[in-house]
């Protein structure tokens, strides 16, 4: 049974969907898709909140749901380990062809966290596998250990864990996964992740992290002290502009994914690419000063860019 307190904390995690750069589960989608997308979003949002230390006052409740003591809520690695064990319990109780999925076992029957309990029907209905979920957990575990990225290639490898599994889960939920669509989806998800990092340079630095490749910082003569300033100087702006164009190139590479599907799924995927382009436009409108505040796109801009993606203008 889910207690009222657990339900309230789970709902608080899910409520963050409206603040994302892209639509998570818009109402024009079939109800079954919306339910499954929100179940996956709840997982992804919570694992990011654990990794970022953003659980706030609800941390002890989440820790208790994962079988930890409340005072362990401030230990991201302990929380991530417990969360991973709970993810394995999602799959232990689901049989494929009569055999239970592998994974660590204990005497608990099913996952303890309410957001993972909500994930069980989605996993069963869509035949999802553990790998994308474990990848997202590993990305947040990496955030606790890796604070700088020397090269763009290293950053792309991180995005392979932190972003690309989400797109693959969307394709799995909608029954549209093919190798070519996975490739295009990976490009879109990595582009979206990079744009989000650009928006959040100051916030990430406060957490001790920099997602701007050191090789690019050196090329544009940007120091860590420059990133700690209240406003961006010309060198920082040039660097952010460069990385923004790189991310837009990835969105362009992924845009054929939108035209490869039909109906309401096409609208959803156009919202993903359109949301990314609108966020890039917000960076441009701020003249790439990401230190004075995180530039965010308005609804009108997201709709305009999504419509452009639908028409194949991206």
DSSP state, 25?
Answer: S
Averaged pLDDT, 282-288? 97
Specify the pLDDT at position 26: 80
Residue 147's nearest CA partner among 71, 73, 219, 227 is: 227
Q: How high is the pLDDT of residue 309? A: 86
Mean pLDDT of 155-168: 97
Mean pLDDT calculated for residue range 79-108: 70
Q: How far is CA 41 from CA 147, 161, 236, 258, in A?
A: 25, 15, 33, 20
Q: Which among 15, 26, 11 is positioned nearest to 299, based on CA atoms?
A: 26
Q: How many CB atoms are located within 10 Å of the residue 297 CB?
A: 25
Could you report the per-residue pLDDT of 27-86, keeping only the tens digit for each?
Answer: 888 999 999 999 999 999 999 999 999 998 999 999 999 999 999 999 999 999 999 999
The per-residue pLDDT for 313 is 61
Q: Is 190 left (phi over 0), alpha (psi -120 to 50) or beta?
A: alpha
Rounded-to-integer distance, Cα 5 and Cα 61, Å: 8
Q: Contact at 8 Å (CB) between 244 and 280?
A: yes
Q: Does residue 46 contact residue 13 with C-beta atoms inside 8 Å? A: yes
- Neighbouring-strand partners of residue 95: 100
- Split at pLDDT 50, 70, 90, the class of 295 is very high
pLDDT bucket at 104, cuts 50 / 70 / 90: very low
More reliable by pLDDT, 17 or 212: 212
- CA–CA dist 261, 279 (Å, integer): 24
Q: What is the pLDDT of residue 99?
A: 41
pLDDT of residue 152: 98
Q: Which tokens in the block code for residue 220?
A: 């544009």
Residue 314's SS3 state is: coil
Asked whether 142 and 163 are in contact (CB, 8 A), the reply is no
Instruction: Decide: 232 and 290 in contact? Cβ < 8 Å.
Output: yes
pLDDT band at 218 (very low <50, low <70, confident <90, very high): very high
Measured CA to CA, the distance from residue 73 to residue 60 in angstroms comes to: 5
Whole-angstrom Cα distance, residue 89 to residue 257?
Answer: 33
Instruction: Give the SS3 label for residue 176.
Output: coil
Q: What is the pLDDT of residues 18-35, one digit of tens each?
A: 556 556 678 888 999 999
- Helices and strands counted in the chain (H then E): 16, 2
User: Tokens at residue 230, please?
Assistant: 């209240």
pLDDT in tens, 239-250: 999 999 999 999
The answer to pTM > 0.85 is yes
Q: Are 54 and 46 in contact (CB under 8 A)?
A: no
Strands of the chain, DSSP E: 95-96, 99-100
Q: What are phi and psi of 99, to 5 degrees?
A: -110, 130
Look at residue 178 in the predicted model and tell me its pLDDT.
Answer: 97
Mean pLDDT over residues 80-104, rounded?
A: 72
Angle (nearest 5°) at CA 270 between 184 and 174: 70
Average of per-residue pLDDT values in the chain:
89
- Please report the pLDDT score of residue 229 as a whole number: 98
User: Three-state SS for 68?
Assistant: coil
Pairing state between β 95-96 and 99-100:
antiparallel
Give, in order, the Cα–Cα distances in Å from 27 to each of 33, 120, 192, 269: 10, 22, 22, 14
């Amino acid at each position: 049974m889910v207690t009222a307190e657990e339900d309230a904390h789970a709902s608080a995690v899910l409520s963050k969907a409206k603040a994302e750069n892209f639509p998570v589960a818009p109402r024009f989608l079939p109800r079954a898709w919306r339910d499954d997308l929100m179940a996956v979003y709840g997982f992804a949002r919570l694992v990011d909140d654990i990794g970022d230390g953003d659980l706030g006052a609800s941390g002890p409740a989440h820790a208790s749901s994962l079988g930890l003591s409340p005072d362990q809520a401030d230990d991201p690695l302990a929380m991530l380990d417990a969360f991973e064990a709970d993810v394995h319990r999602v799959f232990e109780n689901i049989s494929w062809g009569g055999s239970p999925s592998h994974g660590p076992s204990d005497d608990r029957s099913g996952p303890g966290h309410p957001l993972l309990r909500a994930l069980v029907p989605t996993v069963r209905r869509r035949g999802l596998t553990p790998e994308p979920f474990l990848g997202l957990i590993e990305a947040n575990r990496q955030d606790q250990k890796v604070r700088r990225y020397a090269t763009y290639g290293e950053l792309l490898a991180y995005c392979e864990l932190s972003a690309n599994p989400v797109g693959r889960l969307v394709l799995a939920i909608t029954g549209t996964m093919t190798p070519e669509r996975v490739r295009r989806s990976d490009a879109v998800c990595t582009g979206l992740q990079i744009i989000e990092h650009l928006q959040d340079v100051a916030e990430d630095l406060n957490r001790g992290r920099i997602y701007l490749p050191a090789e690019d910082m050196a090329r544009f003569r940007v120091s860590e002290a420059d990133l700690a300033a209240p406003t961006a100087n010309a060198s920082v702006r040039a660097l952010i502009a460069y990385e923004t164009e790189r991310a837009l190139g990835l969105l362009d590479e992924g845009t054929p994914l939108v035209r490869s599907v039909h109906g309401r799924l096409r609208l959803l995927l156009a919202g993903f690419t359109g949301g990314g382009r609108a966020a890039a436009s917000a960076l441009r409108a701020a003249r790439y000063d990401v230190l004075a505040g995180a530039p965010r796109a308005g609804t009108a801009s997201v709709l305009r860019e999504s419509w452009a993606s639908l028409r194949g203008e991206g």
